[in-house]
Homo-oligomer: A and B are copies of this chain.
């Protein structure tokens, strides 16, 4: 038998491994047997730490929320110029999705259709938290006089999301052949120009 860990530590490990599985292969790639194996347990052992698979998925969602908002914050702190901040966020976001293609697929598609409204609500919190941070950056840009004041920060934040979302789709269906960097280099200047004062 393995060494005993502080309460909650194993939950954390399990959640992180579940996230890793989700990130690589989507929700269908997360199964109890594989997850147990990854954390050095036998399938039934998982149930000492979680009541059900559903509970695990919820924990994973919390972890995603945590990470997504934290790197949005990091991007905001990377510079004082709002465009630099957004640019940095795009880069981080794209890099994150490159390495974890299963996350958007889960958040933007599977979780959304969950019959449990609890789960949809959680996803909503994730997305809105992210959008709020983007909107905040834009708002500050307006205060600084760098961004035209006749655009609504929230609307622009949604467009920002639209800058990124298609990249993942195209990258995935082309088996990685789609030129994400190239597309970003073409669309980003247009986006900036659109917002610039």
Contacts and interface: CB of A to CB of B under 8 A. Distances in A.
A127 B29 CA distance: 24
B112 A110 contact: no
A106 B105 CA distance: 10
A172 B174 CA distance: 26
B26 A109 contact: yes
Question: Chain A, interface size: which category?
Answer: 35 or more
Secondary structure dominating the interface of A: helix
Interface in A108-135: 108-110, 112-113, 117, 120, 123-124, 127
A28 B113 contact: yes
Interface of A: 25-26, 28-29, 101-102, 104-106, 108-110, 112-113, 117, 120, 123-124, 127, 151-152, 155-156, 158-159, 161-167, 169-170, 172-175, 183, 186-187, 190-191, 193-194
